[in-house]
């Protein structure tokens, strides 16, 4: 598969910030994030709950308003879009939601659900053409035509998620944010949906931002992977590079924590992090990972590390990259 060579950029964020106000102070959900997504690639966004990955996904397509910074879509800054621009933009960027139960209006039938974006944007002049398109979309995502008049509560999670996908495709977008699209599904159904997403991309050359907490899924589906921790992207590289040559201590710990369904892989090098993820409300200066970092040093608190390129297409935000590898050497 391999990541596409130097190509056009689809989406780029510059110093993107999203703070939520809470009684205890601003919650830094997304803090100074600079990433780009190339046209036609799948960027995987991983992190644990509360790291801000879903918020980032929503700010990128302006379902949430950014607190600061910009999101460039092609050469336009979507943060500055007015109502009309935004309406046009909605046709170009879509989203598939996490929960196939709550993301579908229970009172609408399958065809009504898929027709909604077409009706909102008045894509077709009449109902006949709309219903032709609905049939076509149902075929595309693998929903049997007989389900057209069913309601969500009659369908299983996999089929519901197919509705969510069909709805996202209806307006022929270029860019789709997938927010944990398979997390609520059992492994077998999960595999079916992952294949569907892969096939759709082969067929229509979509650009995906794939948000998940599941590292095996993200490795399977992404071209490049961005790792988030407490509102910051801390490492970003080609999907195999991340797994074979992780540089950030958090990435290393995260990868070593994945339970692998094999017995012959003996994982002596598992890094067990101490404690919990701290609160993103009023985070202290310096490296966000400091409190749990196994290789932290005194100067880590002095400034917040920026995401910099440390190798070809490998970006890292750590004051002491490689420190953990250096530390481990004597032990071996």
Partner 1 sequence: MVLLRKNSNLYLTLVRLRRNRLAVLGLWIMLILLLTAVFAPLLAPYHYATQNLVDAFEPPSWAHPLGTDDFGRDILSRIIYGAQVSLQVGVFAVSLAMLSGGVLGAIAGYYGGHLDDVIMRFMDVLFAIPQILLAITIAAALGPGLMNLTIAVGIAALPTFARIVRGAVLSIVGQEYIEAARCMGASDAWIIAKHILPNCSAPIIVQGTLRVAQAILAAAALSFLGLGIQPPFPEWGGMLAGSRGYLRDYAYMAVFPGLAIMITIMALNFLGDGLRDAMDPKLKR
Partner 2 sequence: MTQHSEFLLEIRDLRVQFHTDTGLVKAVEGLNFTLKRGEAVGLVGETGAGKTTTALAIMQLIASPPGKITSGQIFFDGKDILTKSEEEKRHIRGKKVAMIFQDPMTSLNPVLTVQEQIAEMIRLHEQVTNKEALEKARAMLQLVGIQPERGPDYPHQFSGGMKQRVVIAIALACNPQLLIADEPTTALDVTIQAQVLELMRELKQHFNTATILITHDLGVVAELCDSVAIMYAGRILEKADARTLYGNPQHPYTQGLFHSIPDLTKNVHRLNTMPGLPPDPTALPPGCCFAPRCQYADEACSANSPDMTEVEPGHFVACFKIQEKNGRQAHG
Sites of contact with partner 1 (CB under 8 A): 61, 63, 86-87, 90-91, 94-95, 97-99, 102-107, 109, 116-117, 120-121, 149-151, 153-154, 164, 167, 171
Give the distance from CA 293 to its chain's centroid. 24
CB-based burial label for 91 (10 Å; 0-12, 13-18, 19+): middle
Q: End-to-end alpha-carbon separation of the chain, Å?
A: 35
Residue 151 interface partner, choices partner 1, partner 2, none, CB cut-off 5-8 Å depending on type: partner 1
Residue 95 interface partner, choices partner 1, partner 2, none, CB cut-off 5-8 Å depending on type: partner 1
Selected range binding partner 2 among 14-22, 118-126, 143-151, 249-257, rule: CB under 8 A: 249-257
Beta carbon nearer to partner 2, 70 or 150: 150
125 is an interface residue for partner 2 by CB under 8 A: no
- Cα separation, 76 vs 84, in Å, equals 14
- Cα separation, 315 vs 71, in Å, equals 19
Residue 171 interface partner, choices partner 2, partner 1, none, CB cut-off 5-8 Å depending on type: partner 1
Question: Are β-strands 308-311 and 175-179 bridged in parallel, bridged antiparallel, or unpaired?
Answer: unpaired
Contact 209, 61 (CB under 8 A): no
Stretch 293-312: interaction string toward partner 2, x if CB under 8 A = --------------------
23 is an interface residue for partner 2 by CB under 8 A: no
198 is an interface residue for partner 2 by CB under 8 A: yes
Beta carbon nearer to partner 1, 20 or 151: 151
Beta carbon nearer to partner 1, 126 or 329: 126
By CB under 8 A, name the one of 270, 297, 299, 309 that touches partner 2.
Answer: 270
List Cβ neighbours of 62 (8 Å cut-off, separation of 6 or more): 71, 78, 79, 81, 86, 89
By CB under 8 A, name the one of 85, 136, 186, 306 that touches partner 2.
Answer: 186
Residue 23 interface partner, choices partner 1, partner 2, none, CB cut-off 5-8 Å depending on type: none
Residue 216 interface partner, choices partner 1, partner 2, none, CB cut-off 5-8 Å depending on type: partner 2
- Cα separation, 102 vs 237, in Å, equals 33
**Minimum distance between the CB of residue 162 and partner 2, rounded to whole angstroms?**
13
By CB under 8 A, name the one of 43, 170, 237, 254 that touches partner 2.
Answer: 254
Beta carbon nearer to partner 1, 139 or 154: 154
Selected range binding partner 2 among 17-25, 143-151, 248-256, 299-307, rule: CB under 8 A: 248-256
Contact 280, 231 (CB under 8 A): yes
User: CA separation (Å) from 136 to 20, 100, 170, 177?
Assistant: 41, 21, 10, 22
259 is an interface residue for partner 2 by CB under 8 A: yes
CB-based burial label for 329 (10 Å; 0-12, 13-18, 19+): exposed
203 is an interface residue for partner 2 by CB under 8 A: no
User: Where along the sequence are the contacts to partner 2 (CB under 8 A)?
Assistant: 1, 48-49, 156, 158, 186-192, 194-195, 198-199, 213, 215-217, 219-221, 240, 243, 253-254, 256-263, 265, 270, 272-273, 276-277
């Amino acid at each position: 598969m391999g990541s596409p060579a130097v190509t056009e950029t689809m989406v780029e964020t510059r110093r993107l910030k999203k703070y939520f106000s809470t009684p205890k102070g601003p919650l830094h959900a997304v803090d100074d994030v600079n990433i780009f997504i190339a046209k036609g690639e799948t960027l995987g966004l991983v992190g644990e709950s509360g790291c801000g990955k879903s918020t980032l996904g929503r700010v990128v397509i302006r379902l949430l308003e950014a607190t600061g910074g910009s999101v460039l879509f092609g050469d336009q800054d979507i943060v500055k879009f007015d109502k009309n621009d935004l309406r046009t933009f909605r046709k170009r960027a879509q989203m598939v939601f996490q929960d196939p139960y709550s993301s579908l209006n229970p009172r609408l039938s399958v065809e009504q659900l898929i027709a909604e974006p077409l009706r909102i944007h008045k894509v077709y002049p009449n109902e006949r053409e709309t219903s032709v398109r609905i049939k076509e979309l149902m075929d595309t995502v693998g929903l049997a035509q007989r389900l057209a008049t069913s309601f969500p509560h009659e369908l299983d999670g996999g089929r519901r998620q197919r509705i969510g996908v069909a709805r996202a495709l209806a307006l022929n977008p270029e860019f789709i944010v997938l927010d944990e699209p398979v997390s609520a599904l059992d492994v077998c159904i999960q595999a079916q949906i992952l294949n569907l997403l892969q096939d759709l991309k082969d067929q229509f050359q979509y650009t995906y931002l794939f948000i998940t907490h599941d590292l095996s899924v993200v490795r399977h589906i992404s071209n490049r992977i961005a790792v988030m921790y407490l509102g910051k992207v801390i490492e970003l590289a080609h999907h195999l590079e991340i797994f074979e040559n992780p540089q950030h201590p958090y990435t290393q710990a995260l990868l070593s924590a994945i339970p692998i369904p094999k017995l012959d892989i003996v994982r002596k090098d598992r890094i067990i992090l101490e404690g919990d993820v701290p609160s993103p409300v009023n985070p202290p200066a310096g490296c966000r990972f400091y409190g749990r970092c196994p290789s932290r040093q005194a100067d880590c608190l002095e400034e917040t590390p920026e995401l910099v390129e440390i190798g070809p297409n490998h970006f890292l935000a750590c004051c002491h990259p490689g420190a953990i590898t250096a530390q481990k050497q004597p032990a071996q």
